[in-house]
Structure 1
């Protein structure tokens, strides 16, 4: 398979810091972007991909830079990986970072900053699961969730996955699900598999982005359709030029991605339609 084509927008500064969560644990987060005095920006809590079993903050920099280029501050999470840390540990850490980001949102993104969850591939699953946790805990309030090629189907049997994997009897996504889920019970837990959730009411607006030849396309669009059927606000877009998604989202490169401008435009439009006026 040829090397993935990826995007690296203009270099920017980012900082890595270990933060203390309310549960008493520490986690490293990488913060992208900056804000001017008096400015209020969207604040995105972001989860990188890696099929639950691999990936670092570096694998999240392509998408994080695209969010930054769209005018957001980004807090990217170095969540723990399976198999050492299967479900629910990554979700618990992710929810802790969301609470931390909301508490510090004025410093990070300005007074009254709206908070979003986002992720690609396995990170899209975590973002969707943490979104449900926030709904059920009634805190913090979210302006939206942004899911790029999210892993949502532990059966790994959709037509788009089969088209991408061919005659292979195993794939990295199947391996990742196997390591992430500890039992059959986990496979029907709504935080582990948000697409299987019976209750969708109360979730914030969703932006769903996939590629035309994306292995995750069918499961992502099926979840978007379920959200819509539940009466929720959903914006979906299928990129014709999203080459080798989701892999291209995980491997930073200096070569330009044909869909970078389209992705940034989708982010900006979603921010514009979901952000509320800053609270006084």
Structure 2
């Protein structure tokens, strides 16, 4: 299946050409080790501390039953009041790269603006740790965060799960687990360009071949690492691939956004539509001409500023009306 994708935003297209000098749109299994060491994905703690206005804490907490402990990074603005809202964050990286510092800066912006706490989970990565390890790690970290919220200055009744790309898929899967296991009642789920469907059946899952960021081959690489020979078959759980869920009732309010020029476009639009059909208050944005992760790679671009402001506005409304 092939298709013609919408045009890139001209400002973003110029940025993407520079990005491609350092990062290929096509990722194979042989590239994983090198990507994990790529300096582009390194985040310094001193940057997260923001000149001493944010307190960093590294915690080791129980993982899933029978599994190792997991690491949580807690970021708390020093002026945040006790009982603050909590953003529970799952990083991106296609299930194969990244750590609990990857991409957390944008979430920290919301925390600073709203007097909230960020908890970022360092889940195990595929292929060394295939499904269900990543989502179960994320859920275990959520349980700890809910049970110990007061210890980190948070409110256990005001937890928002959030993530980008693979982290967005894990956030959706974690929300489903919380509902189905009678776990924490979540305030919201903010899913940024989430990775939701292993079946690769939509037109957008095939439109990008050697283009953009995270093309069709990269997507197969990530899902194959997570699921192995189960990918695309009938033995994949809805927690690993939330697009497979047929019952979306009872989930928390959602924000879903995605670029028009990315592999996840159609599955994200469909998931948001089905959330609405299930009675879940949902806001959906398709950013015209946006490639995967455009706002992180080109934060000063006009479309990036609009996307960031729109997410921040949704966060403010959620926290002030709940």
Same fold (TM over 0.5): yes
Q: Distance in 2 between matches of 1:256 and 1:169?
A: 24
Deviations 1:191-224 (A, max 9, x none): 1111111211111111001123232111111110
Alignment-derived partner of residue 200 in structure 1: 248
If the length of structure 1 is used for normalisation, what is the TM-score?
Answer: 0.83
Question: Superposition RMSD on alpha carbons, in Å?
Answer: 3.2
Aligned residues: 271
Q: Which residue of 1 aligns with 2:222?
A: 176
**Contact in 1 for aligned 2:215/2:263 (Cα 8 Å):** no
Q: Is 1:30 matched up with 2:76?
A: no
Alignment of 1:1-280 (within 5 A): 1-3=17-19, 11-13=47-49, 15-21=56-62, 23=65, 25-36=68-79, 38=81, 40-71=83-114, 72-111=116-155, 114-165=158-209, 171-182=217-228, 183=230, 184-187=233-236, 189-240=237-288, 242=290, 244-246=291-293, 249=296, 256-275=300-319
Structure 1 range deviating more: 105-114 or 122-131: 105-114
Using the alignment, how far apart are the partners of 2:320 and 2:201 within structure 1? Answer: 39
CA 1:110–1:48: 2 relative to 1, 3 Å: closer
The structure, 1 or 2, with the larger RCO (C-alpha pairs under 8 Å, 6+ apart) is 1
Quote the offset at 1:170 in angstroms. Answer: 5.4
Q: Provide closer, same or farther for how the CA distance between residues 124 and 186 of structure 1 changes in structure 2, counting only shifts above 3 A.
A: farther
Q: Distance in 2 between matches of 1:77 and 1:38?
A: 23
- Helix, strand or coil: the match of 2:279? coil
The question of whether the paired residues in 1 share the 8 Å contact of 2:295 and 2:305 is answered with: no
Unpaired segments ≥5 residues, structure 2: 1-16, 24-39, 50-54
2-structure distance, mates of 1:264, 1:248: 7
Structure 1 residues 273, 58: CA separation in 2 closer, same or farther (over 3 Å shift)? closer
Distance of aligned partners of 1:38 and 1:63 in 2 relative to their CA distance in 1, 3 Å threshold: closer
Q: Is the 8 A contact 2:275 2:282 kept in 1?
A: yes
SS at match of 1:100: helix
What is the TM-score when the length of structure 2 is the normalising length?
Answer: 0.73
1:56–1:111 CA distance, 2 compared to 1 (3 A): closer
1:226 is displaced (CA, Å) by 1.0
Residues 68 and 165 (structure 1), Cα distance of their counterparts in 2 relative to 1, 3 Å cut: farther
Instruction: Name the stretch that deviates more: 178-187 or 212-221.
Output: 178-187
| Aligned partners of 1:35 and 1:109 also within 8 Å | no
1:31, distance to aligned residue in structure 2 (A): 2.1
